Chain A
Amino acid sequence: MQRRDFLSLAALGGGAVFASGLSGCATAGAGAQDQDFYFVQLSDAHWGYQGAANPEASVTLRKAVAAVNALKIPPDFIVFTGDLTHTTDDPGERRRRLAEFKAIVADLQVKTVHFMPGEHDAALDRGAAYQEFFGQTHYVFDHRGVHFIALDNVSDPGAKIGDEQLQWLRADLAARDPNAPIVVLTHRPLFDLVPKWDWATRDGAQAVELLMPFKHVTVFYGHIHQEHHHMTGHIAHHSAKSLIFPLPAPGSQDKRTPLPWDAGAPYKGLGWREIEAEAGGTDFELTEFPVVLQ
């Protein structure tokens, strides 16, 4: 049984609440189906946040962990695309939040979790505390023929990847087959989504330019606390919902203030997603899930 077939059956039984399929790139030839796999993207937990936008902030992350653990077929791995914690000026408090976050997500039954920082975790100390708990802020790994690249566009408070990391990216890509599938994981959008809301990466265009020669590139990111899909040429960019509060649609109002908590529909607008890699990782299907499974 294909995983998509299983999801359809689960939906009939009330397991999957809603699903939206989206193809990232062109499909590859036959014979790659045996390489299909899926992973989960979580983002923007902002552990430590206290405010009216989420009066249930102390339990939301734990509910998301429980929801992922309830999946009938476990994902191959989990990625967490930044803003694990909410920012604080106090270095001790920052470490306490990172430690608490790490303890909560340790309850995930899938033990392969790839973390990335957001600006709330890393910008005020250039990633020092984050690295004590989660290691490098940019790195690569490979899974079933797909090359994953985690890019750090937040440790520099100016939202830059920086020349050194761009050089590292250039070197990593130099030896790659232009037909091989590449997935980029990052926090901020690599393109200018809404610069007046700081929804951009100052030198993101340079990263996109380096990736452009590769035929199958898909970017998954966070930061904007909502599902959003965008193409720069043939490169697809997909942002994820958050686990703390939703933000308004890009550019829809003067300020990017959080959407108000709806007591009649708790956790509305929050969620996480499954990402199913098909056709050898050149095509992706995204399935969105709420924080609390019905």
Chain B
Amino acid sequence: MSLLSRRRALAGTFAAGAAALVGTLVARRAAAETPREIEVVARRFQFTPNEIPLKLGERVVLAVRSLDFIHGFHVPDLGIRADLVPGRVTRIELQPQAAGTLDFLCDNFCGDGHEEMQGRFLVSE
């Protein structure tokens, strides 16, 4: 291989390596931007889980399934609420901005025990 050919080959190797590195960085950034998904099940008269640890500033998506009723999912302190229609997965994105406890509850009256259907996010730094 001539000197010129070797330089070209090396340049190609560097280019391929750089492209791979950029690809890895993009993939890592995409992974960082993909919110963690947390599965939640709603049934009369409880959420499972009903205590959900979160990291401060972490973006998460709750994937909530209701098994038996159009329950509500309400996080009063974040101004977030949704109706949970059975047979569908309701995705709710949130990103806590302060450490502490955030309450959530069913806000569609669902029967004798509705008042107990609540939970909380435990947000740590």
- Docked-complex contact A158 and B107, CB < 8 angstroms: yes
Nearest residue (CB) in B for A195 is B76
When the two chains form the complex, which single residue of B70, B112, B116 contacts A255, counting CB atoms closer than 8 Å? B116
- Docked-complex contact A198 and B107, CB < 8 angstroms: yes
Report B-chain residues with C-beta under 8 Å of the C-beta of A142.
none
- Docked-complex contact B76 and A157, CB < 8 angstroms: no
Size range of the interface on A?
10 to 19
B interface residues, tally (CB under 8 Å): 18
Q: A158-B107, A202-B107 are in contact. Are A195 and B112 (CB under 8 A)?
A: no
- Docked-complex contact B74 and A123, CB < 8 angstroms: no
State in angstroms the CA–CA spacing of A89 and B112 once bound together: 8
Q: A195-B76, A196-B76, A198-B115 are in contact. Are A157 and B105 (CB under 8 A)?
A: no
Report B-chain residues with C-beta under 8 Å of the C-beta of A154.
109
Q: A195-B74, A196-B103 are in contact. Are A88 and B109 (CB under 8 A)?
A: no
Report B-chain residues with C-beta under 8 Å of the C-beta of A197.
105, 115
Interface: B61 (CB within 8 A): no
State in angstroms the CA–CA spacing of A231 and B50 once bound together: 34
Report A-chain residues with C-beta under 8 Å of the C-beta of B103.
196
- Docked-complex contact B105 and A198, CB < 8 angstroms: yes
- 18 A-B pairs in the complex with CB atoms less than 8 angstroms apart: A88-B112, A89-B111, A89-B112, A119-B109, A123-B109, A124-B111, A157-B70, A158-B72, A158-B83, A158-B109, A159-B107, A159-B109, A195-B76, A197-B105, A198-B105, A198-B114, A202-B107, A255-B118
Which residue numbers of A lie inside 8 Å of B, CB to CB?
86-89, 119, 123-124, 154, 157-159, 195-198, 202, 255-257
